[in-house]
Amino acid sequence: MSKWSVLKKNKEFHRVYSKGKYSASAFLVVYALPNHLGTVRTGITTSKKIGNAVLRNRMRRLIRENIRMIKDQIKSGQDIVVVARKSDPAASFDSIGKELRYLFHKLDLLDKEEP
């Protein structure tokens, strides 16, 4: 399994926030901006509104794993930032995955649909 590209610098996040398009749901916001690198770079942020560090890290892990599961379907050449808005006490792997796929589809980030 190869290591994937992530957004790390504040400048990269702000570029996606200011120039990219976004789509929001009750618990997540996804920002997307085409890049000229030909790879998908992702960044995940969680607000303190989520809760303590344990809950924020759990939400990041759920988001990261769901993105990993659909990584092959994402169009190449995209910078994507996922922001977790509020705490969802019933947040499960499936509910986060369903919400992410819905937002990615809304932003036209998915190349192929699931079989």
Residue in the block written with tokens 């190349």: 111
pLDDT above 50 (res 73): yes
User: What is the pLDDT at residue 3?
Assistant: 63
Give the pLDDT band of residue 115 (cuts 50, 70, 90).
Answer: very low
Segment 38-65 mean pLDDT: 89
Query: Is the confidence at residue 114, as pLDDT, over 60?
Result: no
**CATH no. of 5-106:** 3.30.230.10
Six-digit token string for 28: 């997540």
43-54: average pLDDT:
88
CA distances from 57 to 33, 49, 50, 84 (A): 25, 13, 10, 11
Listed by start position, the domains of the chain span 5-106
Please, is 38 exposed, middle or buried when counting C-beta atoms within 10 Å of its C-beta (0-12, 13-18, 19+)? exposed
CB 32 within 8 A of CB 89: no
**CA dihedral sign, ordered 9, 47, 98, 18:** negative
Token pair recorded at residue 77: 């050449």
Task: Report pTM.
Answer: 0.86
